[in-house]
Structure 1
């Protein structure tokens, strides 16, 4: 099926769904996601960070909230783009795995059954797959980035924070937005949604879809072509049944497919000599090399293919004393990563990784109404997850100096092949409760706690040469290994006036332990399970309006971070261990200024001082003394800066609109700055400071209500900076982020 045909199919499906009701011409904005916060003004941002609808400025949590209009203006198309407008947040890739970092807390692993310690939720549903967290956002109405441990209300591995994505809900008022865009690199993108009634006051539907097709950014110096580019498709539908004024059910489903040839189209990025180049030099073999950041020279065609689908049922019951809600969800994610393990054109080692992820989630939540001066929330959480290698294949082409050294275009048969079949079966249980009380009309305190209990059971099997799977998997003789933790939170908030408040919070974060499925207990000594990470966090903050049209949010934080889980990749093996304690402190904030009619200025900044307090036996890759790849060595990293924790990040934007007789003209400019970050503990691979600039010019003609024409550009200064890193004894490799892109877009909303 060609890309153009698929565009027509998706556009036709969305247009067909639009016929479910009468077009509401003249509506100038999409309705707010949560209109039930009684005290909210029309311009107020409403968030659900505490499992209830509240004004953003009343919530004692550091939150960056992005509305639908902000997402469109900023050109945010997927979860990776969120970091461009959120200080203190990094969204790097570990190969093909998304590993969010908030205030320096980030995962450093990608094993079976493991998940990020920044939790991502879509419509209240937890997303446990690190690859499945790469989500397109055609119908997202609001993004809430919760900074700091969320180990009470969002407990599953939310030690660093949570990212909450809320899509367009089925509505009894017909609304919709559609857009079509074309840019350089033959970049086509069609996306949109429609929401409206099927049966008046009883049944409503929302349908969203997106299609993206782009040529590759990176030049293949071996063939003269480019990587295979990006092809991405998503369709999501939700059906609302309003049984009564107090009872409703929403049934949803989605399917997505994302094929990206650029994520592993990288090159050596560290000091020293990659093993492939060293071996080639030893025999006098001249091997072409990547000669700029947007090029690569690999002996395989890299690929990341992610296919996912799922179904969910959300229920809601409103009573006089509170709201009961349920979440029932099933998801399936299949990932295939094809990568050159040595990042060179030498035939040394290739990886063909296949991961299957099945998960089922059940939640029951309750949020009370105001009981006099008190509020109460409680909930139960259950997740059943199985993730497996099917298989993880490593093909090796070199075994000793007696073996011939070959390079592209020669492609010999592998001298050996290792297939790893394994699984990790996880069961997670949790219960939480939070009690809040107004001591006075201005002073509020709350106490909360969550108890988490998790079991993991693993098995694996290795086969070689033939590629045939063994008859059975070797189960871990320990059977189910369990982890448990109680994580409390205490908050005090004082309302200075109706528009501003100060708060102080103590909380704990928890990232579950881990059982290495690749230990092959039948053939080697068992490795002890990795114990949970723990975060003890203190935060004080201010939220308020300094003057009409000026709002400010400020927070200062201090984290004691213990039992960090670290990960070492040694193809074809990988292993985890607890090896560090860290201390993180800093300050962040944002300001919004409505400077004049049509003119809005926003800015945010984050300062993070994150260092390993005790890390005496860090395992790192250092260049081999004889110039042959990298040695795994021990290093005392105590006192060093944490990886993926830039010291200073900032963003600023200007949005201006003016209306003339012909229509409305708009200008949007956004910049963000990063002071630089280490991609590994030894700081062998470091991204230096960089700044990015995005922008767009728009025109909405007066004669066509809802139409907007846009000229857009991203990374206008064409800055090269690392987006992905993967280190091994072969190479310190990585790939760079998108170069300058630009194009035209037509939008229509109603």
Structure 2
């Protein structure tokens, strides 16, 4: 995708022009000076955006961190009701999901490996809601609930936000309880039976006590039709509740008690036939020959017909909630904050792991229950010429996953070599069952500090450090039995048991431990030559926690390779140069940042190629590098028009990964001699290399070029006696080609695409009615492409949403 350099004039503090901050966008702490209405009006006129990225209230243009901010008005008007939608407004934010548990949130292409489900591994982008850390990225699939503002911090944030923020952090702020009575209701309807309703109300219960309640519900018919069940699958079915109490206990102490509950329960998530990509497996063991032998054909070979015939149950029950207590005490020279939280996550899935309408894998599910407890103490103080943040953080997580996979009557013919008589005996694998028990206890503790030392009026030096300790203990047990309930041994046995073991490998390891100390530190130098110009340079050393492979590890000759159970932490060195500028009386904002990130011991996914519960495990690649330039540009020449352009160029590669898994076109055949490159790629019957050197190749999920851009124009008008304005807006995002496989494959590159959205309506201060269309040009595109187990050459995928349209009505009071 070739794009002119001039289009690099893109976004900074907000992807949506110049969002006007609400007076309650960030509630000041007891020690903060209250913002008057005059301050708010002046701030709005100057296109200011207020953030809490450094754990204090600041103008975004004064913070030496690349930040994208989306306020409540932009979230509502663009239909960005979850992180997946939010990525369309922010070119360096990527979200990939085949189901809520198997999701990745990445920034600048870094964060978590695509396609990995592993309880013992951490994410690389921290998600925080009201200062509470969410340890599992499944929260990113839930609807935003009564949200005021979303800040996306790009680059390592390990000092203030802790471990596992090597790529950045998403800081979400909910609307706070108000001491003035207020409320809002919104209703949206659209094609594909889309229905969404949101409501919130807030007000005082007493002179010193205020409450806020919010509810949101979303439903939509699935985007894929299952001809086998007669149902539309990959649907939406979300509901969320949130409540908060604010108690002004004294003039210097505020207490906020919050609670929430969210549930998704759609018939989801199907990945459907995309294409056949030949591997090096014997031709009679690849997809065309196997389907012919079983008399099977997919409903359509065109994935954008959106048809499937998956025969196993599909479900994606995702339940999450919790409670938190935040205390803020004004000490005179600063604010002492305590955040105590408990979170739970219940995951109840059902999948079709053979990706066909054949009864190969008839049952596949790994339900999990997780609880986490966090406690943070933080003191933000200031003195003459400096300010600082000191804190301590503790985290505990308990996980229990109990999975089951069962093979069906077509499994023998699909999985066993046709030259064996066992392939024609359905009873060999029919009813073969693996029952998994996965457990993890995860503790983390940290001490941290950040100093901003002002050397004169223009120059600031900001060092930071965080010391972190991790303690993880995990177990993985997989018991495999045949249809009669007989145990399948780890090794040995008869030919029938060997074939069963090739399909589902039993194994066990218990009380595997990972314990380590790590230190993160950073140094930022910032220079402010004038009111509207900020220059900064940052070096950060951070890490992503090591962990345990709790999907199982390879078994060689009956021996469980427990030395592969532990995964080393990623070590990150990051350099950044940036400039934040405003001009034309702050009607225009132009920010630019250049970055260079090197990760040693990068946690990369490795697939073993079998059709088993061992879907993948992690190994450490030697080194990866991501570098690039981001620019953000927004302009508001008048009250009638605002526009923005955000973009990024990202260069990315595995610098050193000599023992990587091979792509499907170099897999499936008999093992080539060690060190050999193997036979011709994509030709059946060839020898396959044991490992592949993918040094110099792309990382998955990253486009070289990504852009988001949009504009809105309004004109004064009167409608039904209401004084207001008509408006017309549009936004779009474009990205170039990217790889969708851990080792880049000729079969799994996703071509670049552009998604355009439009809206038009009438609004007043408290009323809004508008029509909208998303993916207006019905761009056919894939969100994910994936190789399926067994090296049969079947490539599955998840098509993105087609064109959708509808109407939204909202009213505030």
- Alignment partner of 1:364: what SS? strand
CA–CA distance in 1 between the matches of 2:769 and 2:511?
Answer: 62
Q: Which deviations, in whole Å up to 9, do the C-alpha atoms of 1:629-665 show, x marking residues without a partner?
A: 9979522111111111110100111011211233411
CA contact (8 A) 1:519 1:526 kept: no
Whether the 8 Å CA contact 1:287–1:346 is kept in 2: the answer is: no
Selected match of 1:167 from 156, 164, 174: 174
Q: Aligned partners of 2:301, 2:739: CA distance in 1, in Å?
A: 22
The number of aligned residues is: 714
Q: Give distance in 1, aligned partners of 2:656 and 2:778.
A: 39
1:544 CA displacement: 1.8
Deviations 1:260-305 (A, max 9, x none): 3343343345623795554222355445445333222322242211
Give the stretch that moved more between structures: 77-86 or 459-468: 459-468
Q: CA deviation at 1:406?
A: 12
1:342-395 per-position Cα deviation (integer Å, ceiling 9, x unaligned): 211122224212121111111111111x30001111111111112221224343
Distance 1:189 1:469 in 2: 50
Distance 1:231 1:630 in 2: 47
Q: Which residue of 1 aligns with 2:490?
A: none
1:45-72 deviation line (CA, Å, top 9, x unaligned)? 1111111111100111010011111111
SS of the equivalent of 2:77 reads helix
- For 1:265 and 1:630, the matched residues in 2 are separated by 29
How far apart are the structure 2 equivalents of 1:439 and 1:139?
Answer: 41
The superposition leaves residues 522-562 of structure 1 with CA deviations (integer Å, 9 ceiling, x where unpaired) of 96231241100121000011112122211111101111111
Q: Give the secondary-structure state (helix, strand or coil) at the position aligned to 2:380.
A: strand
Indicate the residue corresponding to 1:358 in structure 2: 371
Aligned-pair distance for 1:696?
0.8
SS in 1 for 2:400: strand
Shift of 1:90: 0.8
Determine the structure 2 residue equivalent to 1:82.
86
Structure 2 CA distance for aligned equivalents of residues 95 and 270 of structure 1: 23
Instruction: Report if aligned partners of 2:276, 2:287 keep a CA contact under 8 Å in 1.
Output: no
Question: Given the two structures, how large is their TM-score scaled by the length of structure 1?
Answer: 0.90
What is the Cα deviation at residue 119 of structure 1? 0.8
1:241 and 2:247 correspond: yes
Match of 2:561 in 1: 525
Q: Distance in 2 between matches of 1:149 and 1:524?
A: 36
Aligned mate of 1:673, from 734, 754, 772: 734
Q: Tell me the SS of whatever aligns to 2:87.
A: helix
In structure 2, the partner of 1:291 is 302
Question: Which residue of structure 2 lines up, in the alignment, with residue 185 of structure 1?
Answer: 192
Query: How far off its partner does 1:113 sit?
Result: 3.2
- List aligned pairs for 1:522-671, cutoff 5 A: 524-528=560-564, 529-548=566-585, 549-569=587-607, 570=610, 571-573=612-614, 574-623=616-665, 624=668, 633-662=690-719, 663-671=724-732
User: Out of 98, 103, 106, which is 2:103 matched to?
Assistant: 98
- Judge which range, 150-159 or 39-48, deviates more: 39-48
The answer on whether the counterparts of 1:279 and 1:405 sit within 8 Å (CA) in structure 2 is no
Matched, 1:255 2:273: no
After TM superposition, the structure 1 = structure 2 runs for residues 706-717 of structure 1, keeping only pairs within 5 Å, are 706-717=766-777
Residue 56 of structure 1 pairs with residue 60 of structure 2: yes
Alpha-carbon distance in 2 for matches of 1:354, 1:532: 27
Asked if the contact 2:478/2:508 (under 8 Å) is kept, the reply is no
SS at match of 1:92: strand
Q: Secondary structure at the match of 1:131?
A: helix
Q: Corresponding residue for 1:22? A: none
Q: Which one of 293, 311, 322 corresponds to residue 334 of structure 2? A: 322
Query: Aligned-pair distance for 1:463?
Result: 2.2
Normalised by the size of structure 2, how large is the TM-score? 0.83
Which residue among 741, 744, 747 is the counterpart of 2:807? 744
Q: 1:631 to 1:700 in 2, by over 3 A?
A: farther
CA contact (8 A) 1:516 1:527 kept: no
More displaced stretch, 740-749 vs 680-689: 680-689
Provide closer, same or farther for how the CA distance between residues 329 and 207 of structure 1 changes in structure 2, counting only shifts above 3 A. same
Q: CA deviation at 1:143?
A: 0.5
Query: Which has the higher mean CA deviation after the structures are superposed, 102-111 or 688-697?
Result: 102-111
Q: Cα gap change, 1:163/1:208 in structure 2, threshold over 3 Å: closer, same or farther? A: same
Give the structure 2 partner of residue 442 of structure 1: 458
Q: Distance in 2 between matches of 1:449 and 1:691?
A: 41
1:33 aligns with 2:26: yes
Q: Which moved more, 1:88-97 or 1:304-313?
A: 88-97
CA distance in 1, matches of 2:111, 2:689: 22
Assess if the C-alpha contact under 8 Å between 2:121 and 2:548 holds in 1: no
Determine the C-alpha separation between the residues in 2 that align with 1:700 and 1:412: 66
| Partner Cα separation in structure 1 for residue 699 and residue 247 of structure 2 | 49
Alpha-carbon distance change, 223 to 412 in structure 1, aligned in 2, over 3 angstroms: farther
Question: Are the structure 2 counterparts of residues 386 and 316 from structure 1 closer, same or farther at C-alpha, using a change threshold of 3 Å?
Answer: same
Contact 2:703 2:735 in 1 (8 A): yes
- With over 3 angstroms needed to count, the CA separation of the structure-2 counterparts of 1:631 and 1:299, relative to structure 1, is farther
Contact 2:569 2:601 in 1 (8 A): yes
- In structure 2, distance between residues paired with 1:253 and 1:85: 29
- Structure 1 residue 215 and structure 2 residue 221: aligned? yes
Q: Which stretch has the larger CA shift, 439-448 or 652-661?
A: 652-661
In structure 1, what is the Cα distance between the partners aligned to 2:265 and 2:364?
A: 17
Structure 1 Cα separation of the partners of residues 309 and 663 of structure 2: 22
After superposition, the Cα gap between the structure-2 partners of 1:459 and 1:341, relative to the gap in structure 1 and judged at 3 Å, is: same
SS of aligned partner of 1:309: strand
| Separation in structure 2 between the aligned mates of residue 164 and residue 204 of structure 1, nearest angstrom | 24
Q: SS in structure 2 opposite 1:152? A: helix
Contact preservation (8 Å) 1:621, 1:631:
no
Aligned: 1:729 with 2:789: yes
The alpha-carbon distance between structure 1 residues 94 and 469, as it changes in their structure 2 partners (threshold 3 A), is farther
Cross-structure match for 2:212 = 206
Gaps of 5+ in 2: 1-19, 280-284, 488-505, 669-681
**Structure 1 pair 186–238 and aligned structure 2 pair: CA distance change class (3 A):** same
Pick closer, same or farther for the CA change 1:276–1:118 going to 2, 3 Å: same
State the Cα RMSD in Å: 2.8
For residues 599-622 of structure 1, the C-alpha deviation after alignment (integer angstroms, 9 at most, x for no partner) is: 101110111001111111111341
